[in-house]
Amino acid sequence: MSQIALAADFAIIVVVATVIGILVRQLGQPTIIAYIAAGVILGPVAFDVVTDEGLVYLMSELGLGFLLFLLGMKMRFSDIQEILRPVTNVAVGQTVLQTALAFLVALALGFGTIEIIVISLATVFGATPIIVKVLSDKDEITTLPGKIDVGVLIVQDIYLVVVLAMFSADSLDNAGEILQTLAVVFAMMAFIGIFSIASSKYLLPQLFRRVADNKDVFLIVAIAWAFLFIAAAESQFDGGIEIGAFLAGLSLAQLPYSKELEDRITPITDFFILVFFASIGLQIEGGAASLFAYWQEAIVASIVLMVGNFWIMFYLIDREGFGVEPTFLASVNMIQVSEFSLIVGALAIQQGYIGPDILGYLTLMALLTMTVSTYIVANNHAIYARVEPWFRRFESEDDRDAEIATYSDHAIAIGRDDITERLLPFLAERYDDVVLIDRRAGQVESDEDEPYDYIFGDFRHSEIRKEANLAEASFVLSSSVEREVNEALLEEVDDDAVVFVEAERIDDARALYDRGATYVVMSTHLTAEMLGEYLERYLEDQSSFDETINDDLERLRRRGHEPADRMVGDGGETDG
């Protein structure tokens, strides 16, 4: 295919996906569905005007790589370490039980022996791009349910490498070749993992310290780092792009520059991920006949697997003692059949294990379950709110005892930023108890000596709100700018409580005032007001202005910052 034709294919995908994306967003639906629909329309199922090869395939692989790279940059070692053991237990149990469930479903539907093996191995994976993308958009990827799901997905990616190694062998009976391939795979993953950890401690801090001031070089070095890991992993085993990209991002996440990198990488990721989801529809070979050859079986299997996968995950996570709400959310996020089933199915076709109709069956299941699960993940909190009374029966006595309120005449600060940091000492002087709710694990140790209690978790979880006794709080300060979070807060808090919340837009501020907020903090307006006051003081009374600046510098020093000393002389000159 000529370069012009490849560029044309790419342009068609972007334009069609964008148009459909705008339409579905007007209807309040997730854009991921629009991207997949664009691939189905442009691919063999409908008009067959674009093929999944060349530039399109490359761009879709880059999208997946950047998505996992971005995911890695959101995870610090401390965040993963705290739940590593229970998540590993969940992931191993999930792999075994969901494979067994898929095997039984395929057996009951009457498929052949080899087809059953392929189907059961292909349908065990969760849809990493779907889950990561939707949770990232909702800012839930670093919550406890998000970290549980990510941990399981990473283990599944390792399992995917094992499955691909099996199907890459000349025969499923060739145990020696399979074991040799697996040995190489695990050795390479161990080497890349060790290099990732070591570089985050010894190499990357010095490297990025040198280039941090140059924004262009800063971004290029980060992207080059990602491609280094991707190339190393992909050259040694199929499916290595996900693991390599994630480890590259994980090593960068330990740096103080990770947030800046995350902001710069996100727009690139959003662009490439459009092509990735569109390419799912382009992979359906054989047209509509193959896609719908087993459509009834696909519908039955999709329903059984979604329900079964939920209960398998719920049982395994609940057994680890994470609490009912995080368990429900983490379970309901993982009910889909992944697009990786298409990769396994395509490889099985190349080896002659299955025919196009079975690949169509796998594809239809993936499309059905991913479509349904996208809506479910996007509305997981609303769903839990409806079923919460029924699921409360799974609580242990310890969970119920933990919910008994222990605070009175207390203040609650939700999230820690510059505003809450400054107000916490004042709250500690005014109220009997001050409770800080934050989901960053690293704050637990640093806050042990502070005059307030720390609750690690996501405020959106009802267990966290009950533990902090939100309903009886006298004062609440929320650093979240998410309007729905602050509206939920205002609904639950007592009418007599003083509530300060934050907002980014005027419309959100008005809505929060209508809901009963005492004061809505808008950082841009506060900055403008303070700048105006500083300028007025400088023009009217320079000595008063100098005292204000020196007071601000002293406050910064008390908070752990070390600004350069500022000595103000006559005429406004600064020395030192």
Residue 534: CB atoms within 10 Å: 14
Write the pLDDT tens digit of every residue in 177-208.
667 767 776 777 777 778 878 888 888 888 88
Residue predicted with more confidence, 498 or 338? 498
- The reported pLDDT for the residue numbered 548 is 65
Cα separation, 326 vs 86, whole angstroms: 14
Query: What's the rounded mean pLDDT across residues 558-567?
Result: 47
C-alpha distances (whole Å) from 223 to each of 87, 159, 257 are 29, 27, 14
Residue predicted with more confidence, 245 or 403? 245
Burial code (b: 16+ CB inside 10 Å, e: under 16) for 354-390 equals bebbbbbbbbbbbbbbbbebbebbbebbebbeeeeee
- The reported pLDDT for the residue numbered 180 is 73
Cβ pair 568, 547 in contact under 8 A: no
- DSSP string over 192-250: HHHHHHHHHHHTHHHHHHHHTT-HHHHHHHHHHHHHHHHHHHHTTSTTHHHHHHHHHHH
Burial code (b: 16+ CB inside 10 Å, e: under 16) for 441-458 equals beeeeebeeeebbbbbbb
The confidence band for 161, taking pLDDT boundaries of 50, 70 and 90, is low
Q: Is the pLDDT of residue 312 over 80?
A: yes
Cα separation, 190 vs 184, whole angstroms: 10
Q: Where are the domains of the chain?
A: 3-387, 408-521, 526-575
Which has the closest alpha carbon to 33: 402, 41, 152, 173? 41
Its sign, for the CA torsion 217, 219, 223, 228, is positive
Q: Using CB atoms within 10 A of its CB, is residue 321 exposed (0-12), middle (13-18) or buried (19+)? A: exposed
The confidence band for 48, taking pLDDT boundaries of 50, 70 and 90, is confident
Q: Using CB atoms within 10 A of its CB, is residue 121 exposed (0-12), middle (13-18) or buried (19+)? A: buried
Query: Which of 188-197, 229-238, 315-324 is predicted with the least confidence, judged by mean pLDDT?
Result: 229-238
Q: Determine the length of the chain.
A: 576
Residue 469: CB atoms within 10 Å: 18
Top-level CATH class of 408-521? alpha beta
Q: Is the pLDDT of residue 380 over 50?
A: yes
Cα separation, 100 vs 541, whole angstroms: 78
Cα separation, 273 vs 271, whole angstroms: 6
Cα separation, 541 vs 109, whole angstroms: 85
Cα separation, 45 vs 287, whole angstroms: 4
Most confident of 18-27, 240-249, 282-291: 18-27
Domains 3-387 and 408-521 agree in fold: no
Cα separation, 455 vs 410, whole angstroms: 14
Q: Classify 413 as helix, strand or coil.
A: strand
Residue 556 has which token pair? Answer: 């910064």
* Helix-helix angle 258-282:128-137, to 10 degrees: 130
Cβ pair 476, 500 in contact under 8 A: yes
- The reported pLDDT for the residue numbered 56 is 66
Partners of 36 in the β-ladder: none
Cα separation, 497 vs 470, whole angstroms: 10
Q: Is the pLDDT of residue 570 over 50?
A: no
Most confident of 242-251, 286-295, 313-322, 354-363: 313-322
- The reported pLDDT for the residue numbered 309 is 92
- The reported pLDDT for the residue numbered 552 is 64
Q: Classify 411 as helix, strand or coil.
A: strand
Which has the closest alpha carbon to 322: 402, 405, 202? 402
Q: Classify 285 as helix, strand or coil.
A: coil
pLDDT cut 70: percent of the chain above it? 76
Most confident of 151-160, 161-170, 377-386: 377-386
Q: Is the pLDDT of residue 141 over 50?
A: yes
Residue predicted with more confidence, 57 or 315? 315
Q: Is the pLDDT of residue 225 over 80?
A: yes
Query: What's the rounded mean pLDDT across residues 323-352?
Result: 81
Cβ pair 478, 466 in contact under 8 A: no
Write the pLDDT tens digit of every residue in 442-491.
444 444 556 778 777 777 776 677 778 888 888 998 888 777 778 888 88
- The reported pLDDT for the residue numbered 543 is 65
- DSSP string over 14-70: HHHHHHHHHHHHHTT--HHHHHHHHHHHHSTTTT----S-THHHHHHHHHHHHHHHH
- pTM for this predicted structure: 0.66
Q: Is the pLDDT of residue 152 over 80?
A: yes
- The reported pLDDT for the residue numbered 569 is 39
Query: What's the rounded mean pLDDT across residues 47-56?
Result: 68
* DSSP H or E run through 497: none
Average pLDDT, the chain: 77
CATH number of the domain located at residue range(s) 3-387 in this protein: 1.20.1530.20
The H-assigned helical ranges of 82-214 are 84-108, 113-122, 128-137, 144-168, 175-202, 204-211
